[in-house]
C-alpha cells in the first residue's frame, strides 16, 4: 500500500519547508496568592495556565531511533480515521515496526512492516484490520500525517505517511489522501532527519524499492533500520509518575524558606513551612520533548497570622475517685498570648484555683460535681468541656473479657488474640476459653469447629503457661468446671471441641492465642478471659484486657464484652486501634475504626471515631502513657474513650467506617 509513483516524479522538492509553531504557550498566568503564615497548602492547577499553541486533539508519540515525533490527531475533523489509527496503537501493532519507504523531499511512510528477526530477512507485514472510510478534506501540508492506501479511495488500513513538504497534488479531489494529524513542536526535525536518509532498493520489488537504511553501507543489521519502538497516545499534561506527557513542568521559588514548591503531576503545591512573612516570586516553566519552553510567574504574599482566641488541645477529663484520695484535672491549650485560668465547680469559680492544673486532695463528697476551666488571653476567652468527678467509698474492678471475632488462615492470617495484664502481689486464678462449637447453641453460623487456646506469658522468650485443644482433656477438669460455675460462664457441652484452661498466674502480661487446631480452617470464635474469685486488698488485679483479631463487616465486627464487678465504679480507658498497628509490623489493618461502648441493655454509652476529636487528644495521650499503653499515632484515625462505669456488663464494639475491614485491637485499661 503506497502513494502512486507519479506524484513522486511530478512534485520533487518544489515548495519551501514551513516553520512549526505548535509549541508550549502561557494561556492564563496564575493569579497572585495572598495567605497567612501557617495557612494550609495552596494548590495551583497548571492545566489552565499552559497549553500547546492551537492543539486541542489527541496527542500520540512516535518513539523512533532518530528521536521523538509528537503528533496531534484531528479527532473532530477525521473521527473514523483517528479511531482506526488508535486501534492499532492500542493493540501494539506499531511496536518495533520500521519506516519502510522514503521518497526524498516528498513523504516518509510506515505502519506496514515489523522489524525483521533476524534483520537479514524481509520485514514481516503488520496485520491489517478492516479498511476505513476516506475522510479527506484537510490539505496535505508539510508535517501532516495521512493515511496510505491503494487506488481504492476507501482502502486505508494500517499504513500512514508524513508529508515532508506541502503536497497539493495529494489533495486531488478525484483521488485525495486523508490527512488526520500534524506534527507539533520541533518534531518536524525528526521527520526531516528520516527524509534525509539514503533510500535503497532491497531488490525484492515493491514496497521495498525506496527502503531507508541509516548506514550508507546498506547492511541489513538492526542498527541500520529506521526503527519505531512504539506509537502511543500520551496526555497533554502529566497525570502520574510513570506515563509520558506532551508537556512537563518545573517550578521554583525565589524564597523557598517562605514559600515551598512541590509539583504533583499537573498541580503545583505551595507550602508555607515557617512563621516567616514576606513575598516570594514563583516561576513555573512548561516544556515539550523538543526543549521548547513557556514560562510564567506570580507572587505569593505571606502575611502575619491573625491572633485568635485560645484553642484547647487537651480537655479536662473527669473520673471516679475514692474518699480520701486525690485527683488532678488539667488542660492544654494553644494561645497567641499569655493565658490565665479560672477553674469552676458546678459553674462557680473556685477561689485561688487559677493554674493550668486543678489538684483535689483528701477528696470528700463535697468535691463531687462538674468541673470546667475558663481560659483567657488578650485575644479572647474559651471554656473547656465539663469534667464530672464522682466520689465513692469503694472502686470496682474488672473480672471478664469476652471477644467474638473471626480467626482467619487467609491473608492477613489473623489469629484471635485476647490479652490481659495483672498487677499486684500474689497470684490470681484465670479461666481462659476458646468457644467455637459452643456458639452453635446461640445460632451463630460459620463458627470455628475445633479451636485451640494457648496462654502465654509475654517476655523474651515467651512462656507457654498452659494450652488446650479439647476442654475435657484438661488434667484439672474438676477445678475447671468449678471455676466455670464461680465465674458465671455458660457451660460447655460434653464432647464438644471447645477449648479451655484454668490456671493461677502471677503479675505480668499475657496473651491467650486462639487458632484452628488444624491450622487450615477459618471461623467465628469467642475468646473469654475470667478472673475467678474475689479480689484481695493489695493483691493482684486485672488492669488491662485486650483482643487483637480480624474486624469484618455486618455480623463479623469485633465485639468485646467485659464485666465490671464490685460495689463501686471504675475508670476505664477503652481504645479501638487500627492504623497505629502498622508501626508494629501488622499488615492489613483497619483503616478507620469506630468504637462503640454499649451497656447490658444494648444502649450506647458513648462512641468515638477519631481519638483526637474535640480537643481530647493531649488528655487521652497523657492518660494512655500513665497506664502504660503505647502512644497512638498523631493524626491517626484510631479511636479512644475515657469512661466512668458502674458495675455491670458492657460491650466494646469495633467496626470500620463505611464497612471497612482489617486487623484491629480493642483495649480496656483500668485507670487509677
Position 17 pLDDT exceeds 70: no
pLDDT of residue 203: 81
Tell which phi-psi region holds residue 635, choosing left (phi > 0), alpha (psi between -120 and 50) or beta: left
Q: Write out the three cell numbers for 59.
A: 496527542
Task: Summarize pLDDT for 52-80 with one digit per residue, the tens.
Answer: 988 999 999 999 999 999 999 999 999 99
- Tell whether the model's pLDDT for residue 135 goes beyond 90: yes
pLDDT at 41 over 50: yes
**Mean pLDDT confidence for 127-145:** 96
- E strands of 204-244, at which residues? 211-212, 227-234
Say whether 146 sits in a helix, a strand or coil. Answer: strand
Check residues 425 and 80 and name the one with the higher pLDDT. Answer: 80
Average pLDDT taken over every residue of the chain: 91
- Give residue 92's Cα distance to chain centre: 32
Kind and range of the H or E run holding 487? helix 477-487
Fold of 5-18+52-234: Cyclophilin (2.40.100)
Q: pLDDT (tens digit, 9 = 90+) per residue, 514-553?
A: 888 887 778 888 999 999 988 887 788 899 998 888 888 8
Residue 124: which pLDDT band, with cuts at 50, 70 and 90? Answer: very high
Are the C-beta atoms of residues 423 and 353 closer than 8 Å to each other? no
CA-CA distance, 657 to 672, in Å (whole number)?
32
How far, in Å, are 477, 495, 515, 542, 591 from residue 473 at the CA level? 7, 10, 17, 27, 40
Looking at domain 311-392, what is its CATH homologous superfamily? Immunoglobulins (2.60.40.10)
Contacts of 481 (CB under 8 A, 6+ apart): none
Burial (CB count <10 Å: 0-12, 13-18, 19+), residue 370: middle
Does 16 have pLDDT greater than 60? no
Q: What is the DSSP letter of 532?
A: E
| Residue 410: predicted pLDDT | 54
Q: How many other CB atoms are there within 10 angstroms of residue 236's CB atom?
A: 20
Burial of 512 (0-12, 13-18, 19+ CB in 10 A): buried
Between residues 556 and 29, the one the model is more confident about: 29
Q: What distance in Å separates the CA atoms of residue 569 and residue 257, rounded to the nearest whole number?
A: 54
The structure's pTM equals 0.59
How much is the average pLDDT of 651-658? 93
Q: Is the pLDDT of residue 434 over 90?
A: yes
Q: How many CA atoms lie within 13 A of 455 on its CB side?
A: 26
Question: For the residues 212-237, what does the mean pLDDT come to?
Answer: 90
Distances (CA, A) of 276 to 33, 36, 258, 301, 304: 16, 10, 6, 11, 8
Read off the pLDDT of each residue in 105-117 and give the average, rounded to a whole number: 95
Q: For the chain, how long is the longest CA-to-CA vector? A: 113
Please determine, for residue 121, whether its predicted confidence score (pLDDT) is greater than 50: yes
> Which position has the higher pLDDT, 18 or 221?
221
What pLDDT, on the 0 to 100 scale, is given for residue 536? 80
Give the integer Cα–Cα distance in Å for 592 and 153: 62
The predicted structure's pLDDT at residue 259? 95
Question: Which helix H or strand E contains 267, and what residues bound it?
Answer: strand 267-271
Q: What is the mean pLDDT of residues 570-599?
A: 95
- Provide the residue ranges of all domains of the chain, joining segments of one domain with +: 5-18+52-234, 311-392, 397-671
Residue 596 DSSP symbol: E
Residue 18 pLDDT > 80 = no
Of 268-277, 367-376, 642-651, give the lowest mean pLDDT range: 268-277
Task: Give the three-state DSSP class for 476.
Answer: coil
Q: Quick one: average pLDDT of 574-587?
A: 94
The percentage of the chain sitting over the pLDDT mark of 70, rounded to a whole number, equals: 95
**Could you read off the pLDDT of 175-195 as tens digits, one per residue?**
999 999 999 988 999 999 999
Beta bridge partners of 401: 529, 562
Amino acid at each position: 500500500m503506497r502513494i502512486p509513483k507519479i506524484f513522486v516524479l511530478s512534485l520533487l522538492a518544489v515548495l519551501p519547508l514551513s516553520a512549526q509553531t505548535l509549541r508550549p504557550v502561557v494561556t492564563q498566568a496564575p493569579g497572585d496568592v495572598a495567605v497567612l503564615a501557617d495557612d494550609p497548602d495552596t494548590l495551583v492547577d497548571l492545566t489552565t495556565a499552559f497549553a500547546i499553541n492551537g492543539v486541542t486533539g489527541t496527542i500520540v508519540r512516535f518513539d523512533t531511533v532518530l528521536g521523538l515525533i509528537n503528533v496531534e490527531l484531528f479527532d473532530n475533523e477525521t473521527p473514523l480515521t483517528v479511531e482506526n489509527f488508535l486501534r492499532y496503537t492500542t493493540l501494539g501493532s506499531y511496536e518495533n515496526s520500521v519506516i519502510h519507504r522514503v521518497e526524498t523531499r516528498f513523504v516518509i511512510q510506515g505502519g506496514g512492516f515489523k522489524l525483521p528477526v533476524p534483520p537479514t530477512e524481509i520485514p514481516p507485514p503488520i496485520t491489517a484490520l478492516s479498511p476505513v472510510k476516506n475522510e479527506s478534506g484537510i490539505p496535505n501540508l508539510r508535517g501532516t500525517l495521512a493515511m496510505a492506501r491503494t487506488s481504492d479511495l476507501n482502502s486505508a488500513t494500517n499504513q500512514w505517511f508524513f508529508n515532508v513538504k506541502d503536497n497539493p497534488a495529494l489533495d486531488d479531489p478525484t483521488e485525495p489522501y486523508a490527512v488526520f494529524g500534524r506534527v507539533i513542536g520541533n518534531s518536524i526535525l525528526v521527520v526531516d532527519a528520516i527524509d534525509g536518509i539514503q533510500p535503497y532498493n532491497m531488490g525484492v520489488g515493491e514496497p521495498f524499492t525506496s527502503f531507508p537504511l541509516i548506514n550508507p553501507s546498506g547492511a541489513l543489521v538492526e542498527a541500520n533500520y529506521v526503527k519505531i519502538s512504539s506509537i502511543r497516545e500520551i496526555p497533554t499534561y502529566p497525570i502520574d509518575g510513570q506515563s509520558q506527557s506532551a508537556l512537563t513542568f518545573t517550578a521554583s521559588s525565589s524564597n523557598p524558606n517562605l514559600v515551598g514548591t512541590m509539583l504533583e503531576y499537573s498541580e503545583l503545591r505551595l507550602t508555607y513551612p515557617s512563621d516567616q512573612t514576606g513575598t516570594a516570586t514563583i516561576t513555573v516553566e512548561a516544556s515539550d520533548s523538543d526543549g521548547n519552553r513557556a514560562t510564567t510567574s506570580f507572587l505569593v504574599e505571606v502575611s502575619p497570622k491573625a491572633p485568635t482566641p485560645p484553642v484547647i488541645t487537651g480537655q479536662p477529663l473527669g473520673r471516679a475517685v475514692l474518699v480520701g484520695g486525690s485527683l488532678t484535672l488539667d488542660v492544654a491549650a494553644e494561645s497567641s498570648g499569655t493565658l490565665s485560668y479560672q477553674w469552676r465547680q458546678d459553674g462557680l469559680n473556685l477561689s485561688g484555683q487559677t493554674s493550668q492544673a486543678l489538684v483535689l486532695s483528701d477528696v470528700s463528697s463535697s468535691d463531687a460535681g462538674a468541673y470546667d476551666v475558663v481560659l483567657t488571653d488578650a485575644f479572647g476567652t474559651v471554656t473547656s468541656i465539663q469534667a464530672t468527678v464522682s466520689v465513692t467509698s469503694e472502686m470496682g474492678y474488672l473480672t471478664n473479657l469476652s471477644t467474638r471475632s473471626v480467626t482467619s488462615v487467609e491473608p492477613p492470617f489473623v489469629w484471635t488474640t485476647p490479652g490481659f495484664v495483672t498487677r499486684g502481689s500474689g497470684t490470681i486464678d484465670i479461666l481462659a476459653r476458646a468457644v467455637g462449637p459452643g456458639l452453635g447453641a446461640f445460632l451463630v453460623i460459620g463458627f470455628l469447629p475445633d479451636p485451640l487456646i494457648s496462654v502465654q506469658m509475654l517476655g523474651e522468650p515467651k512462656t507457654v503457661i498452659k494450652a488446650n485443644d479439647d476442654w475435657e482433656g484438661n488434667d484439672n477438669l474438676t477445678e475447671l468446671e468449678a471455676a466455670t460455675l464461680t465465674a458465671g460462664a455458660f457451660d460447655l457441652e460434653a464432647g464438644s471441641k471447645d477449648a479451655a484452661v484454668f490456671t493461677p498466674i502471677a503479675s505480668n502480661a499475657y496473651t491467650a492465642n486462639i487458632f484452628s487446631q488444624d491450622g487450615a480452617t477459618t471461623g467465628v470464635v469467642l475468646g473469654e478471659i475470667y478472673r475467678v474469685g474475689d479480689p484481695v486488698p493489695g493483691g493482684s488485679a486485672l488492669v488491662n484486657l485486650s483482643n487483637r483479631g480480624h474486624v469484618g463487616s455486618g455480623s463479623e465486627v469485633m465485639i468485646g464484652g467485659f464485666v465490671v464487678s464490685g460495689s463501686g465504679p471504675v475508670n476505664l480507658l477503652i481504645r479501638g486501634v487500627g492504623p497505629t498497628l502498622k508501626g508494629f509490623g501488622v499488615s492489613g489493618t483497619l483503616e478507620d475504626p469506630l468504637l462503640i461502648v454499649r451497656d447490658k441493655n444494648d444502649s450506647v454509652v458513648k462512641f468515638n471515631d477519631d481519638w483526637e476529636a474535640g480537643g481530647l487528644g493531649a488528655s487521652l495521650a497523657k492518660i494512655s502513657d500513665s497506664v502504660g499503653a503505647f502512644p497512638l499515632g498523631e493524626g491517626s484515625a484510631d479511636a479512644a474513650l475515657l469512661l466512668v462505669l458502674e458495675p455491670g456488663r458492657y460491650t466494646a464494639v469495633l467496626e470500620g467506617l463505611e464497612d471497612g475491614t482489617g486487623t484491629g485491637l480493642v483495649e480496656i485499661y483500668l485507670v487509677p
